[in-house]
Chains A and B, each alone.
Chain A
């Protein structure tokens, strides 16, 4: 495609991306460099049904005046990025100096909210993505061999987990794993432990979330693999058949190499999606034991009485950087392949 044609072809998309993705990111970045203005407090007399007390309250007028002078708030540079709720440089430095062993250092660091969230987010990413690719591939292969009349139904069944809204899907599963729910109760009986609860142990909650993630993401991998399977050339497969290759050998030496770029694509998308894991945490009420980076942003904007824009902005920026780091190896690889193919 000539460059000019490509430019005009891409222009509307590019413009929309700048307007709706680029500018908001810039704006979040600016917000993340600021914190709220100083709150001016004053003593007042309050009376309610339980009596009168002297209390402090925010002097709204004075605070409002400060806000008018500095609508963005006070400039804090990268202060929010390095505070305890984000990269926590001071706390890490102190932990490094005071801890006597690496495991103690590790414990202190992983107790900090940001690193706790990074640990869960990465664990989720790397535990979910490979099974999704493998399972998606197996499901695609199996459905591809079905008789035509059954295919439609099987495809519908296989993509159902993706159709179900994540929040609803996780809520359904949440009730099923309740200690009185069908799965929870069965597990209790199987292990003979009446106090076993999937929701109360961190490890079991993480495992539940990961299984949910695999269940929810597999259809995506399946549908892409299934589409790609339709493009596998029949000639080499027939040739292999004549040579007496088994089904496994045909898949291993003809189908998999053909689908390799597709697998890279799926991995890219899956890693990116899973790095933003959020809904299952809410659906499973797992906030207590599993926090992800997206959940931290939600917490700043939603769970506080007042939105912490600076903090949320900083976490967003760090998430973007995280995704970039995560995807670099895959992108480099794709780029190399692209170059060699040329």
Chain B
């Protein structure tokens, strides 16, 4: 008991001493409460934000893979549930639709001297977010397995399918391909990649009318189907994190997941033999096209409209401190592609840079894109299970989208 009291006293003393120290990025009042997605690079970023915030302010962060389902409701409340949100070019649109993000021009002018110009996300002339990293899905492969079977690194999806088939036939692995096909957002994203890779457009030009039920959509679905046939039979329940686990268990030889996965796939945990054999490759193109079938993403910081000026300023200072920390970027050079000034570049940035230079499209930022993504998330499952034709599945996607878009007032 005595020991416990001493321990408690000691801990109070240390935290007291800590609170007295100078906080590196300067916010001294207000509280910071951030909502963010859950993956390793964000954790690294948040550690920096936290040390930046220092201990004079309340700091809390909620990491959740469901962040984009929570964000609109959480930021609509007044005062908002969170003072800041880590957004991407995908998740920013629903927030912009409802005017839930605060223009940042004044704060950038005050605290953003160390930002690159391309970090400033401007919409209609105002800065609404500050990007700190770029991300894209691309190919990963096991070098020894490809070498052993004499397979060249695939550069098109047709070659990926042939390679995976060859590995399967060799009996080395039962299900050599991995992709995040979990029904829901992930599955929708796989279609978005493949459809854009085929040169598809999601909406009829200049309107919110859907436009996926066409030859390009069918071709995209057929490629996805061929890939799932070479994947773990449980593919409909596997999200990115589950696929990464499969990879680390040595069950996969080829996979198409996020570049930011490098920070957990190439760390010291897990089977080091697999890690040493893991290689990154550009995202393949598909259907004879030249651009890779993937989408470009930026991840950035944004501040809620419905939060007090004090909290907004504190949150921005802490976040922008991390988003302009060359130290962070260079200490974790391989964690992702940082957009931060004076970032020297890591060993894993190649595939993202490659995707951008080969003309991959950024994730579409139409205000009604999230409804389309939602419809894709649920209506493609039956096709992948072989219960429905590709045309029927795409017709269902369009019908489901129209019903929802009508209710939301887009049609």
Give B342-375 as 1s and 0s: 1 = Cβ < 8 Å from A's Cβ atoms. Answer: 0000000000000010000010011100110010
Given known A-B contacts A305-B69, A306-B408, A310-B407, A179 and B233 have beta carbons under 8 A apart: yes
A1-54 residues with Cβ-Cβ distance < 8 A to B are 35-39, 41, 44-50
Give B373-387 as 1s and 0s: 1 = Cβ < 8 Å from A's Cβ atoms. Answer: 010011001100101
- Give chain A residues whose Cβ lies under 8 Å from the Cβ of B44: none
How far apart are the CA atoms of A308 and B123 in the complex, in Å? 26
- Give chain B residues whose Cβ lies under 8 Å from the Cβ of A201: 385
Return the contact of B237 from the options A47, A49, A285 (Cβ within 8 A): A285
A334 to chain B, nearest CB (A): 39
How far apart are the CA atoms of A127 and B366 in the complex, in Å? 44
Do A46 and B123 touch across chains, with their CB atoms under 8 A apart? yes
Given known A-B contacts A48-B298, A113-B400, A179-B232, A305 and B409 have beta carbons under 8 A apart: no
B18 on the A face (CB < 8 A): no
- Give chain A residues whose Cβ lies under 8 Å from the Cβ of B184: 287, 303
Please give me the residue from chain B that is nearest to A40 by CB atom.
B409
Please give me the residue from chain A that is nearest to B251 by CB atom.
A180
- Give chain B residues whose Cβ lies under 8 Å from the Cβ of A341: none
Do B362 and A48 touch across chains, with their CB atoms under 8 A apart? yes
How far apart are the CA atoms of A57 and B388 in the complex, in Å? 35
A19 to chain B, nearest CB (A): 23
A7 to chain B, nearest CB (A): 41
Number of interface residues of B (CB under 8 A): 65
Do A197 and B385 touch across chains, with their CB atoms under 8 A apart? no
B180 on the A face (CB < 8 A): no
B125 on the A face (CB < 8 A): yes
A99 on the B face (CB < 8 A): no
How far apart are the CA atoms of A310 and B408 in the complex, in Å? 9
The segment from B89-97, B252-260, B270-278 that touches chain A is: B89-97
- Give chain A residues whose Cβ lies under 8 Å from the Cβ of B403: 83-85
How far apart are the CA atoms of A178 and B236 in the complex, in Å? 12
How far apart are the CA atoms of A302 and B381 in the complex, in Å? 19
Return the contact of A302 from the options B69, B370, B371 (Cβ within 8 A): B69
Please give me the residue from chain A that is nearest to B237 by CB atom.
A285
B93 to chain A, nearest CB (A): 8
A311 on the B face (CB < 8 A): yes
Do B407 and A308 touch across chains, with their CB atoms under 8 A apart? yes
- Give chain A residues whose Cβ lies under 8 Å from the Cβ of B123: 44, 46, 57
- Give chain A residues whose Cβ lies under 8 Å from the Cβ of B174: 194-195
The segment from B114-122, B142-150, B156-164 that touches chain A is: B114-122
Do A304 and B298 touch across chains, with their CB atoms under 8 A apart? no
Do B99 and A39 touch across chains, with their CB atoms under 8 A apart? no
Do A303 and B362 touch across chains, with their CB atoms under 8 A apart? no
Please give me the residue from chain B that is nearest to A49 by CB atom.
B118
- Give chain A residues whose Cβ lies under 8 Å from the Cβ of B125: 45
A92 to chain B, nearest CB (A): 13
Please give me the residue from chain A that is nearest to B234 by CB atom.
A199
Do A44 and B124 touch across chains, with their CB atoms under 8 A apart? yes
Given known A-B contacts A50-B296, A179-B232, A195-B233, A308 and B408 have beta carbons under 8 A apart: yes
A264-317 residues with Cβ-Cβ distance < 8 A to B are 285, 287-289, 299, 302-308, 310-311
Do B371 and A304 touch across chains, with their CB atoms under 8 A apart? yes
How far apart are the CA atoms of A194 and B251 in the complex, in Å? 14
How far apart are the CA atoms of A111 and B382 in the complex, in Å? 9
- Grouping DSSP codes into helix (H, G, I), strand (E, B) and loop, the A interface class, with mixed when no group exceeds half, is loop
- Give chain A residues whose Cβ lies under 8 Å from the Cβ of B399: 84, 91
Do B298 and A49 touch across chains, with their CB atoms under 8 A apart? yes
B411 to chain A, nearest CB (A): 9
How far apart are the CA atoms of A288 and B236 in the complex, in Å? 7
- Give chain A residues whose Cβ lies under 8 Å from the Cβ of B377: 303
How far apart are the CA atoms of A178 and B246 in the complex, in Å? 13
Most buried by B among A178, A200, A201, A307: A200
Given known A-B contacts A41-B367, A49-B118, A57 and B97 have beta carbons under 8 A apart: yes
Do B118 and A35 touch across chains, with their CB atoms under 8 A apart? no
B134 on the A face (CB < 8 A): yes
B170 on the A face (CB < 8 A): no
Give B94-136 as 1s and 0s: 1 = Cβ < 8 Å from A's Cβ atoms. Answer: 1011110000000000000000001111111100000100100
B306 on the A face (CB < 8 A): no
- Give chain B residues whose Cβ lies under 8 Å from the Cβ of A91: 399
Return the contact of A200 from the options B73, B134, B234, B382 (Cβ within 8 A): B234
- Give chain B residues whose Cβ lies under 8 Å from the Cβ of A165: none
A80-95 residues with Cβ-Cβ distance < 8 A to B are 80, 83-85, 91
- Give chain A residues whose Cβ lies under 8 Å from the Cβ of B406: 35, 83
Do A39 and B237 touch across chains, with their CB atoms under 8 A apart? no
Please give me the residue from chain A that is nearest to B360 by CB atom.
A50
Do B407 and A36 touch across chains, with their CB atoms under 8 A apart? yes
- Give chain B residues whose Cβ lies under 8 Å from the Cβ of A202: 385, 387
A308 to chain B, nearest CB (A): 6
Please give me the residue from chain A that is nearest to B187 by CB atom.
A288
Given known A-B contacts A60-B98, A195-B233, A38 and B409 have beta carbons under 8 A apart: yes
Q: A46-B123, A200-B235 are in contact. List 19 more A-B contacts (CB 8 A).
A: A38-B409, A39-B408, A48-B121, A49-B119, A49-B298, A55-B365, A83-B403, A84-B400, A84-B403, A113-B400, A178-B234, A196-B233, A199-B233, A288-B236, A288-B378, A289-B385, A304-B371, A307-B72, A308-B408
5 contacts between A and B (CB under 8 A): A49-B118, A84-B399, A287-B378, A303-B184, A304-B370
- Which 3 A-B pairs give the minimum distances between C-beta atoms? A288-B183, A60-B99, A197-B233
* Chain B residues near A (Cβ < 8 Å): 66, 68-69, 71-73, 89, 91, 93-94, 96-99, 118-125, 131, 134, 174, 182-184, 208, 232-237, 296, 298, 339, 356, 362, 365-367, 370-371, 374, 377-378, 381-382, 385, 387-388, 392, 396, 399-400, 402-404, 406-410
